[in-house]
Amino acid sequence: MTITAPIQAPAIINTVIDAVEYPADGVASLVLRRADGQNFPSWAPGSHIDVHLTDDLTRQYSLCSDTEDLSTLRIGVLRTPDSRGGSAWVHDRLSAGSELRISAPRNNFPLIDSRKYLFLAGGIGITPIIPMMRAAEAAGREWVLYYGGRSRNTMAFAQALEAEFGNNKVRIVAEDESGRLDLSQILGLPRAHMLVYACGPGGMLGAVEDFCMGWPPGALHTERFAADSLGVGGSSEPFEVELSLTGTTLTVESDQTILEAVEQVGARVLSSCRAGLCGTCETRIISGEPEHRDAALSQADKDANEVMMVCVSRAAAGCSKLVLEL
Amino acid sequence: MSLRTQPMVFQEDPFDVAAISDPYPFLDRLREAGPVSYLEATGSYAVTGYEQVYEVLTDFETYSSAGGLGPRDIRKDEAWRPPSILESDPPIHTLMRRALTGVINPGTVRALRGPFTPPALELTDELATRSGFDAVTDLAEKYPIRVFPDAVGIPEEGREHLLPYGNMVFNAFGPENYIFQQAFAEADVHSKVVMAACERESLNDTGFGKQIWDRVADGLITEQQATLLVRALLSAGVDTTIFGIGNTLSVLAKEPEAWAELRRQPNLAKFAIDEALRLESPFQKFHRTVSVDTELGGVHLPAGTKVLVFLGAANRDPQKWGPDADKFSFDRSSSGHVAFGMGLHQCVGQPIARLEMEIVLQALLERVETIAPAGPAVPIIHNVLRGFESLPVTITPAR
Ligand code: FES
């Protein structure tokens, strides 16, 4: 057996647009191929790429192609009137054969293994969900998708998904036919061993968060669209944690909790539920800004940012280091 | 893997006095019948494996609480009574739980350290002047009853009914045997006093009780639910903590090295308490109802049957904790033990119980150089709780 070191993906990948398709009104879907003819680095459902449209215009788009086929990548771009230039640029200036510089795929919205999944997509928020559905299906998991949009002709991939998985698993809810997604009906009853993955506009995600209050913490995973591009928040980027009592500094990887990383270096943290529910792992913050993901602290405590639950909470987007009293 | 859908049939009665007073040899035998087995005495399925217990506790859809925590399905009882939070599934449970966690959460519990500390210092100051004492009757039984009812805000009068009432509530998670009957001998008196203490008018303005009632005004819960939630706090918040303190001391009295280490580093007290709770879990067992046909630990469970969840067995399962599962190990990470339950119904009062235990233990560590058993501990005969009636210890005071 030979062991090869993982190859570091290049920061910038030069690509050529293979095809531009229009899967719905106002949505362009770009298929990218590497300029050097090689395969793209492998990626997991939920990943996105940075697309460098010009030197100072970069946008993030979720990948919606097949994780098994690395010869191409596919993204979907909605043209929005309030776009800060990104979607208009894509729609107006790009066509088959255009060159595009992108980053290697990164994943801030990873699909965690679970027995059951509930997928919720609003509009173009369907894109990161598509590879997730395929992964859930391939793993034989129980899943259902609720996909809401204004009308069918604005909902990218709706028909194809319905045809692929059937309308039992793929529930298309077009506003002009049957009104909005009835979130109280869909999320009213918390379910066991089921994770919720939701992607869509801020308004929809706010409502989803409200309805998920009674669910086990950690059940809900969201990715927000801001204007025409992926927004910040729900960040799973790696960050550093310094333990103030011992001076040890460690890295919390994207697929790790602070608690796991801290235990790995042998420091002791009392914990119980490991799910952000019980409050046992409360840890004092010396410096840095957390993103609270627990259901234990009150809102006032969360706003004060003096303590955090290290079993689920992470560093806030843009905060690269937390110093904790451990 | 071979699939065995027929469980082993286990004949001994888990509610027999011998199994209760010395539970661990019994649990070893039960575990040998597999992680899930059939209990002939009760007609329910015993769940002893850590993995399987964890599964029952976290899959609230398959293993419903709405049938109650006792051996009978309370929904089939003639006299319907409104379900307590422990006997509820989502969505009713969701609202009640939210009302409670709004009131009891890390922030509100942090504020209790101040008022909870002086009584512990006072009690342990006095005990440290003696050459020995009873860790249960002189300390464990005295402390929670001094601090917890105040935190809830109930009247002084009638507090002597709290312990017998809690005793009733928990014993009802087992069968109606003579232990149950003893606990319920004066049920009406205890119930009446405790229920009256849960009413809005009985509660002072500063305690958790009043804050729970405030959620009625918000429209989150009904008045009846508020009464039930305050009652749940009172019935679950005293005995279990008494047993938590007593059981921790029963373990540590036999661990002189750990005691010495803790005296050097009293900030580690919480880890010792956690490991002691794993080893001597106050809440040993209760039932859930199977809501749909399912399979657990290779055994088919039909819908409608009861499973008896042995928290105390899961917490000593060698598959999870290793070959020394029945030993106290200060260095072990006891994280994940199910002494407080797990999942949606995990003990809401956990941070309060941990706070009380830590305050008492740290006060004792400061004042007591060595502690050792001074005779046999007398186990309490209780259907589902594990604890001691008496736990004599000798001590040498710290200089
Ligand atoms: S261990 Fe329960 S909140 Fe972190």
Q: Which residues of A touch B (CB under 8 A)?
A: 188-193, 213-214, 216, 263, 268, 270-274, 277-280, 282, 295-298, 300-301, 307
Does A217 lie in the same domain as A120?
yes
Note the pLDDT of residue A80: 79
**CATH code of A56's domain:** 2.40.30.10
Is 70 exceeded by the pLDDT of residue A3? no
Does A141 lie in the same domain as A99?
no
Note the pLDDT of residue A45: 96
**CATH code of A268's domain:** 3.10.20.30
> Which secondary-structure segment (H or E) carries B270?
helix B269-279
Name the domain count of chain A.
3
Contacting residues of B for A193, CB less than 8 Å apart = 58-59, 61
Domain assignment present for residue B345? The answer is yes
Domain assignment present for residue A194? The answer is yes
All residue ranges of chain B with pLDDT < 70 are 1-4, 78-80
Subunit contact A188:B106, Cβ cutoff 8 A = no
> Which secondary-structure segment (H or E) carries B300?
strand B299-301
**Which tokens hold the place of A131?**
């590879």
DSSP A168-182: TTEEEEEHHHH-S--
Does A120 lie in the same domain as A219?
yes
Pairing of strands A57-62, A106-107: unpaired
**CATH code of A196's domain:** 3.40.50.80
Task: Give the domain-ending residue among A172, A190, A224.
Answer: A224
**CATH code of B276's domain:** 1.10.630.10
In whole angstroms, what is the distance from residue A287 CA to residue A290 CA?
Answer: 9
Greater pLDDT, A86 or B199 = B199
Does A287 lie in the same domain as A269?
yes
Domain assignment present for residue B295? The answer is yes
- Range(s) of the domain holding residue B190: 9-397
pLDDT digits (tens, 9 = 90+) for A123-180: 999 999 999 999 999 999 999 999 999 999 999 999 999 999 999 999 999 999 988 8
Domain assignment present for residue A245? The answer is yes
Is 70 exceeded by the pLDDT of residue A7? no
- Range(s) of the domain holding residue A91: 13-106
Does A268 lie in the same domain as A168?
no
Note the pLDDT of residue A231: 47
Name the domain count of chain B.
1
Domain assignment present for residue B1? The answer is no
A301 → closest Cβ in B60, B107, B343: B107
Task: Give the domain-ending residue among A106, A133, A160.
Answer: A106
Does A121 lie in the same domain as A100?
no
Domain assignment present for residue A180? The answer is yes
Note the pLDDT of residue A230: 53
Q: Which of A219, A311, A324 is nearest to A256 (CA)?
A: A311
Note the pLDDT of residue A9: 44
Subunit contact B344:A282, Cβ cutoff 8 A = no
Domain assignment present for residue A232? The answer is no
Note the pLDDT of residue B121: 98
Domain assignment present for residue A4? The answer is no
Domain assignment present for residue B4? The answer is no
Longest dimension (CA), chain B: 62
Domain assignment present for residue B2? The answer is no
Q: How far is the CA of A98 from the centre of ligand 1 (A)?
A: 50
Residue pair A27/A153 in contact (Cβ under 8 Å)? The answer is no
Does A145 lie in the same domain as A91?
no
pLDDT digits (tens, 9 = 90+) for A17-72: 999 999 999 999 999 999 999 999 999 999 999 898 888 788 889 999 999 999 99
Does A122 lie in the same domain as A220?
yes
Does A139 lie in the same domain as A193?
yes
Residue pair A297/A239 in contact (Cβ under 8 Å)? The answer is no
Task: Give the domain-ending residue among A168, A192, A224.
Answer: A224
Compute CA distances B18 → B12, B24, B379, whole Å. 10, 11, 11
B107 → closest Cβ in A188, A270, A297: A297
Note the pLDDT of residue A84: 61
Does A140 lie in the same domain as A95?
no
- Residues comprising chain B, all counted: 399
The mean pLDDT value of chain A amounts to 88
Domain assignment present for residue A1? The answer is no
